[in-house]
């Protein structure tokens, strides 16, 4: 069973705010690129951990031991989700931004000022500013930006290859652009980095909810994502190869452990955050049970939990390709973005290449500012999305500082897309 109507209904029950907001207003939540709604299992587990094991770890009494168990289970759940070899490779932090800065400080200690860092023109600033800091402090010689194929919003792989040389110490890319929706060819980029002995870093924050993320398949050295973009609470996770986590010297207070992952973690952990991410994984396990893939071959080498999570994320990815197609081409009675006059769609528009993008669409409409589109779609059709600066460097590159963006996840529906397209079409027509 894939995503049939019965399953879609069940998924929407699992997200208490999928249909209406807290005031009871019906709306289509399309602001998922900014933060997703929370799944019931994550919120319940978080509250339970908050109440039952609020004690700090390291003591002999039950609440403290339970807090430790919850944290360890959360690390294991994240490791399973990423196909990481062990929970000791999972570091937690306040946000993806804080984890990137933390990592950049540790990597910076290894650098001599002669090296370069290579990134891309469609990164979130989280994956730019830490390297600019290193450049400004003379820790690296240059931060290099790989160009895009502007028309289709994809990475210019030839240009990227040309930027990487024997002085490249870090190649760092997003797994998908939070403005364009474009996915990066991570395995290929990883190989380029490895050829010159550079670290390969991945910002998985945007893509994380939209499909599988496998750190062993892409052979990355580090990868970061955030729980609030994945149906859970705030709090973020960094995967690092065990040998790197052991060798690097992060900024830390002296009495804190020197053993990873703890040596990278600033201050006391929030056990409720770990409970939340375990709850998210329980949702995916439930989803996987509903789907029950027969594709034993493909998943043969993975253990039970990893296999179950992969089945869920593969199914989500496939389902979301259908969203992208409908957003672009519409339905029998409603034109899609490609056919609404005056609408410019950024990113991949070729319907045969939709597996190369997430259902995140930034658009520009002739003569209608992004804020007006956002307001009218909200008021007239209950579409919850925004025009904003999403901290994407691509917005600078495309000169779109305040672009209107929708981003869909697996609790959204085709009915919501139809409402969105109908309303947008009417807004455009009313301006003619």
Ligand X SMILES: Cc1ncc(COP(=O)(O)O)c(C=O)c1O
| Residues forming the site for ligand X (CB under 6 A) | 95-97, 124, 126, 174, 178, 203, 205-206, 226, 236
Distance CA 422, CA 403 (A): 20
Contact by Cβ (8 Å): 372, 284: no
The CB-of-105 to ligand X minimum distance in angstroms stands at 16
The CB-of-80 to ligand X minimum distance in angstroms stands at 21
DSSP state at residue 4: -
The CB-of-367 to ligand X minimum distance in angstroms stands at 29
Closest CA to 131 of 151, 111, 147: 111
**Residue nearer to ligand X on the CB measure, 99 or 424:** 99
**Residue nearer to ligand X on the CB measure, 3 or 30:** 30
Instruction: Name the region of 399 (left: φ>0; alpha: ψ -120 to 50; beta: rest).
Output: left
The CB-of-69 to ligand X minimum distance in angstroms stands at 26
User: Could you give the count of Cα atoms lying within 13 Å of 376 in the half-sphere of its Cβ?
Assistant: 18
**Residue nearer to ligand X on the CB measure, 126 or 168:** 126
The CB-of-226 to ligand X minimum distance in angstroms stands at 4
The CB-of-386 to ligand X minimum distance in angstroms stands at 12
**Residue nearer to ligand X on the CB measure, 184 or 326:** 184
Instruction: Give the number of residues written for the chain.
Output: 432
**Residue nearer to ligand X on the CB measure, 207 or 376:** 207
The token pair that represents 426 in the structure block: 């009417």
Q: Helix axis angle, 5-14 relative to 271-291, nearest 10°?
A: 170
**Residue nearer to ligand X on the CB measure, 31 or 203:** 203
The token pair that represents 330 in the structure block: 């519409």
Contact by Cβ (8 Å): 178, 206: yes
The CB-of-117 to ligand X minimum distance in angstroms stands at 16
Distance CA 60, CA 246 (A): 28
**Residue nearer to ligand X on the CB measure, 180 or 291:** 180
Phi and psi at residue 126, to the nearest 5°: -55, -30
The CB-of-195 to ligand X minimum distance in angstroms stands at 25
The CB-of-165 to ligand X minimum distance in angstroms stands at 26
**Residue nearer to ligand X on the CB measure, 82 or 291:** 82
Q: How far is CA 431 from the centre of its chain?
A: 35
The CB-of-205 to ligand X minimum distance in angstroms stands at 4
DSSP state at residue 353: G
Beta-strand relationship, 116-120 and 142-146: parallel
Beta-strand relationship, 142-146 and 148-149: unpaired
Distance CA 158, CA 147 (A): 9
The CB-of-208 to ligand X minimum distance in angstroms stands at 9
**Residue nearer to ligand X on the CB measure, 168 or 184:** 184
User: Could you give the count of Cα atoms lying within 13 Å of 170 in the half-sphere of its Cβ?
Assistant: 34
**Residue nearer to ligand X on the CB measure, 95 or 142:** 95
CB atoms within 10 A of CB 394: 26
- B/e letters for 120-141, b = 16+ CB within 10 Å, e = fewer, are bbbbbbbbbebbebbeeeebbb
**Residue nearer to ligand X on the CB measure, 88 or 97:** 97
Distance CA 103, CA 201 (A): 10
């Amino acid at each position: 069973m894939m995503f049939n109507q019965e399953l879609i209904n069940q998924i929407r029950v699992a997200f208490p705010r999928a249909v209406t907001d807290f005031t009871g207003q019906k709306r289509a939540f399309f602001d998922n690129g900014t933060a997703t709604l929370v799944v019931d299992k994550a919120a319940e587990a978080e509250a339970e951990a908050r109440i039952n094991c609020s004690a700090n770890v390291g003591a002999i009494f039950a609440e403290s031991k339970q807090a430790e168990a919850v944290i360890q289970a959360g690390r294991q759940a994240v490791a399973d989700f990423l196909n990481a070899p062990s929970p000791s490779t999972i570091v937690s932090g306040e946000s993806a931004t804080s984890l990137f800065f933390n990592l950049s400080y540790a990597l910076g200690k290894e650098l001599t000022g002669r090296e370069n860092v290579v990134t891309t023109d469609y990164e979130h600033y989280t994956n730019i500013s830490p390297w600019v800091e290193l450049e400004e402090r003379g820790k690296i010689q240059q931060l290099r930006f790989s160009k895009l194929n502007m028309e289709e919003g994809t990475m210019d792989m030839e240009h990227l290859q040309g930027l990487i040389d024997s002085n490249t110490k870090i190649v760092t890319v997003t797994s998908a652009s939070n403005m364009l929706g474009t996915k990066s060819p991570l395995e290929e980029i990883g190989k380029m980095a490895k050829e010159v002995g550079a670290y390969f870093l991945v910002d998985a924050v945007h893509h994380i909810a939209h499909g599988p993320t496998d750190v062993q398949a892409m052979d990355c050295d580090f990868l970061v994502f955030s729980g609030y973009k994945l149906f859970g609470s705030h709090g973020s996770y960094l995967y690092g190869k065990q040998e790197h986590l052991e060798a690097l010297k992060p900024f830390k207070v002296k009495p804190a452990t020197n053993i990873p992952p703890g040596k990278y973690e600033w201050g006391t952990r929030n056990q409720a955050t770990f409970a939340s991410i375990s709850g998210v994984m329980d949702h995916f396990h439930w989803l996987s049970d509903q789907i029950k893939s027969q594709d034993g071959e493909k998943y043969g080498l993975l253990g039970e939990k990893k296999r179950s999570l992969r089945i869920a994320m593969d199914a989500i990815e496939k389902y979301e390709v259908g969203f992208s197609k409908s957003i672009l081409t519409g339905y029998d009675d409603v034109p899609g973005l490609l056919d609404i006059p005056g609408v410019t769609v950024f990113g991949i528009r070729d319907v045969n290449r939709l597996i190369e993008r997430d259902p995140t669409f930034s658009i520009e409409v002739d003569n209608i500012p992004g804020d007006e589109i956002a307001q009218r779609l909200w008021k007239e059709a209950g579409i919850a999305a925004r025009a904003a600066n999403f901290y994407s460097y691509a917005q600078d590159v495309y000169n779109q500082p305040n672009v209107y963006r929708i981003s869909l996840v697996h609790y959204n529906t085709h009915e919501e897309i139809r409402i969105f397209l109908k309303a947008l079409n009417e807004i455009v027509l009313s301006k003619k």
